[in-house]
Structure 1
Amino acid sequence: MQLEIDTPEHMAELGARLALELKAGDLVALNGELGAGKTTFTRGLGEQLGVRGSVTSPTFVLARTHRRLVEGAPLVHVDAYRLGSAAELDDLDIDWSASIVVVEWAAGMLDGVAEHWIEIDIRRPTGAGADVADGDEPVEPRIVTITGHGARWRDLRLD
């Protein structure tokens, strides 16, 4: 499935829509360059799940667990940027079966980690044609490609 997301608010809304489908044991892999919207997506997902604390870019930690303010599986937000392999991801001792896990910079990191997962690739405009808002980041649209892997996500729809 491919979507065009035109604002950061809509990126957060996409995360919130996906959160409605998630349960303990689910894994979401986010890929995209710096500033693509990975953390904005995760923030919307966390808000919908009702997690405690604010979801921020995981710059100084490899993984942060966000407990829920309501009953349900915690959200584990992982930054795999500094990891070298799926084995190092597995070494984080995440309780995969009891958590909803979102891994940023996940490309090539999921071999053998899970039987089913959702992969989300976010591409943003770059170059001279990209509009610039306040700051350095181009204004949307982002092209978001969502691919379900494994039987659980074969028919994923976020319409």
Structure 2
Amino acid sequence: MIEMKVELTSSEATIELGKLVAKQLNAGDVVVLDGDLGAGKTTFTKGLALGLGIHTVIKSPTFTIIREYQEGRLPLYHMDVYRLENGGGSDLGLEEYFDSDGVSVVEWAQFIADELPVDYLAIKFERTDNDDTRILSFEAHGEHFKHLILELSKHNG
């Protein structure tokens, strides 16, 4: 398994990393974000959106569960499935998003683990004692994402 850790010291750095990741994403890719509230998941997704050419304001989909952004190189489907803690993910038709022409970003994916495809990129966000610093751990599930992490490591080496 290919893994990589990155230390980021600002929200701007988080956005820039999201842009870098976006350049290597393809239709049907799934990115899973894990971390506490306020750890930087939505900030990273803002960068991902910018990297896809989406300039709409990105908001956390906590209350809507899924927000769709269509105007980029690829559509972005931003999901926050925290409210599905007690089930219900199978009723949303998530596989249609995962098999679509866009990129799916899923926060709190542990609540829909059975719905996830075999191949995806997992990113864990960890806070540190310094309020501005985050450690992101990337874990590849599938060959495409192994390659993506190797490419990212060239920029963050």
Contact 1:39 1:57 in 2 (8 A): yes
Matches within 5 A, 1:24-43: 24-43=27-46
- Match for 2:85: what amino acid? G
Looking at structure 1, the residues matched to 142 and 9 of structure 2 have their Cα atoms a distance apart, in angstroms, of 29
Which residues of structure 2 form unaligned runs of 5+? none
Secondary structure of 1:119's aligned partner: strand
Distance 1:52 1:5, change over 3 A: closer
Equivalent residue number for residue 3 of structure 1: 6
2:143 is matched with which residue: 140, 151, 154?
A: 151
Aligned residues: 145
Aligned alpha-carbon RMSD (Å): 1.8
CA distances 1:123-156 after superposition (whole Å, capped 9, x unpaired): 002xxxx35xxxxxxx221111000102222232
Q: Partners of 1:22 and 1:91 in 2: how far apart?
A: 27
Counterpart position of 2:89: 89
Quickly say closer, same or farther: Cα 1:143–1:83, change in 2 above 3 A. same
Amino acid at match of 1:95: Y
TM-score (norm 1): 0.83
TM-score, normalised to structure 2, is: 0.83
Deviation at 1:100, TM superposition (A): 0.3
**Structure 1 residue runs of 4+, over 6 Å off?**
none
CA distance in 2, matches of 1:42, 1:35: 13
Provide the rounded CA distance (Å) in 2 between the counterparts of 1:95 and 1:109.
13
Higher relative helix content: 2
Which residue identity lines up with residue 75 of structure 1 in the other structure?
L
CA contact (8 A) 1:52 1:67 kept: no
Report the Cα distance in structure 2 between the residues aligned to 1:41 and 1:101, rounded to whole angstroms. 13
Does residue 141 of the first structure (1) align with residue 133 of the second (2)?
yes
Tell me the distance in 1 between the aligned counterparts of 2:66 and 2:98. Answer: 12
Q: Which amino acid aligns with 1:151?
A: E
What's the % identity of the aligned pairs?
37
What is the letter of the counterpart of residue 41 of structure 1? F
SS at match of 2:84: coil
Q: For residues 1-159 of structure 1, what are the structure 2 equivalents within 5 Å?
A: 1-51=4-54, 53-69=56-72, 72-84=73-85, 88-93=88-93, 94-97=96-99, 98-107=101-110, 109-125=112-128, 130-131=129-130, 139-155=131-147, 156-157=149-150, 158=152, 159=155
Q: Deviations 1:23-51 (Å, cap 9, x if unpaired)?
A: 11000000000100000000010011112
- CA distance, structure 2, for counterparts of residue 53 and residue 47 of structure 1: 9
